[in-house]
Chain A
């Protein structure tokens, strides 16, 4: 498919570009470049602010290129709230690792099963899954059931189990499994392999890219999740990183609105501007580092999802 677009460019170059065409090209570069900057600039700003001394921020405001650079903010954070942040880091890492592994196992098993034409009720199963994405009971019944029946309040499982299966990812995975030739399975069956054997020894090893793609999607959603913490977690020791950041930021927003009575504002210790930005960087650190390597898997996942089977 890529070849076609390249071919298209080559043939376009054969014919001398008219003035009009050149404008289209220039406009494209300008607009795409501008929007790229709009996406990148906020991130760069956050990074540099986290390395700026507090006094410089207070005097100059937020700047992409500050007058001075410092590591003080990070040193301060790890000296003062180090244990809390490390604790939250631990919670997030635990939730992400356990959640992703569990979710992958659950998702791959069902996607493998319903990818097989020999499974007679596969469409029934697919419908049971699909229906949940077009109709839901709503937030309140879900919340009541989770809290009253499953006792998920202040439990680490509240951050893992409710998010452990995504119907969207299942259909994505099924598309990948469907691409595997059935004759491979048939050959294994003749050799006496059962479905478990075929699943673990053939289907999974043949779908390494798919596993990475869907696994990354799950990992990102676990890493970025703070909503489940908002719902269920009030014990500070169980705060994931994102929720820790949320608790800082939402306090600061309320205070800077000026609506909080001054007495209350004084009692809430306002975290310094640079601290907030540094915590943000700490929160998205792993994403920034992994981004260049994992980006293509996400692109592929989105493209697969976009192409209707």
Chain B
């Protein structure tokens, strides 16, 4: 049967399995409209785009847009730096915390406490970044002023949980929404917080498939739970950790625009500290023109493609042939 079907051509396949291909049409059409046709628009990166002449009528300028980008435009450098810093810490903390949580959950008895804790941990995944931003406001909002003469602290309105805590400890409250230095850590913490429950489920799924007899043997040999975690659980989780980490590294040049804008909004006081490449592309679309911003986006996509291929290659190396895709 197999040999016979190999000889049959494209026409035969369409006549006999045509229905199956028709079933694929709507999805492929959506991809064509929103993924493949825009790729033609990459041409804009090489033009001085203007709306009147359109994508293919605008004057061709070669690599000018790119050279401007690579010549050390300080805003672009800032955006790239922010993206890498936020993603770097996001990957490290976003791996350590979920792996630890999954391991600890595995040590717990199945019961109400575990169930409730897991539900609570998973809940942030269901919130949009806008909602997270609104909730965060209740923690960080500040309204106070210093008395000009005495330097005394005067509370003028509602203060968030964090400032009340600071004041309770006898510390100065902080105007969080006006202090850019705090925002990279805040964004990183929120990112880790939102995804920790989700990612720990992935690791727990992997643990559910582990061979229980290995643990029994270890127990009989007198290994403590701690030793079992260090020498059985973590080594067996390694392939999953490697895959998730490499996948994140493949996307290290991509910032989460929804996260940045959802949490920080249009707050120009702190926006510079957390501007990532994606938000920079969006704002420069308005200020620097479509050609330039397309060029940045293209650099990002190409870097992403190279990194994800490299990541896939190294995943196969590390995990004995099991790649990302």
Contacts and interface: CB of A to CB of B under 8 A. Distances in A.
B262 to A, nearest CB: 7
B137 interface: yes
B90 interface: no
A103 to B, nearest CB: 9
B26 A118 contact: no
Q: Point out which of B104, B105, B229, B301 has the most chain A C-beta atoms below 10 A from its C-beta.
A: B104
A21 B224 contact: yes
B112 interface: no
A49 B41 contact: no
A257 B198 CA distance: 33
B23 A110 contact: yes
A207 interface: no
Contacts of B205: 302-303, 306-307
A29 B103 CA distance: 11
Contacts of A307: 205, 209
Contacts of B257: 227
A284 B175 contact: no
Nearest to B207: A5
A188 interface: no
A246 interface: yes
Contact of A259 (B42, B160, B269): B269
Q: What class of interface size applies to chain B in its complex with A?
A: 35 or more
B19 A195 contact: yes
Interface residues of A, number: 121
A63 B165 CA distance: 11
Contacts of A248: 134
A252 B137 contact: yes
B282 interface: yes
Contacts of A132: 31, 35-36
B252 interface: no
B158 A62 contact: yes
Given A110-B28, A140-B41, A224-B128, A302 B201 contact: yes
B122 A138 contact: no
Interface of B: 5, 13, 17, 19-21, 23-24, 26-28, 30-31, 33-42, 44, 51, 54-55, 97, 100-101, 103-110, 113-114, 116-128, 130-131, 133-139, 141-143, 155, 157-161, 163-164, 175, 177-178, 193, 196-198, 201-202, 205-212, 215-216, 219, 224-226, 229, 240, 257-258, 261-262, 264-270, 278, 281-282, 285, 290, 293-294, 296-298, 300-301, 304-305, 308-309, 322, 325
Interface of A: 1-2, 4-9, 11-12, 15, 18, 20-21, 24-25, 27-29, 31-33, 35-40, 42-43, 45-46, 49, 57-58, 61-63, 105-107, 109-110, 112-114, 116, 118-121, 125, 128-130, 132, 134-146, 148-150, 161-162, 164-165, 170, 194-196, 199, 220, 224-227, 230, 242-243, 245-246, 248-254, 256-259, 273, 276-277, 279-280, 283-284, 287, 291-292, 295, 298-299, 302-303, 305-308
Given A136-B301, A148-B54, A306-B201, 12 more contacts: A1-B209, A46-B138, A62-B164, A109-B26, A138-B294, A138-B301, A242-B128, A242-B131, A248-B134, A252-B137, A277-B138, A283-B130
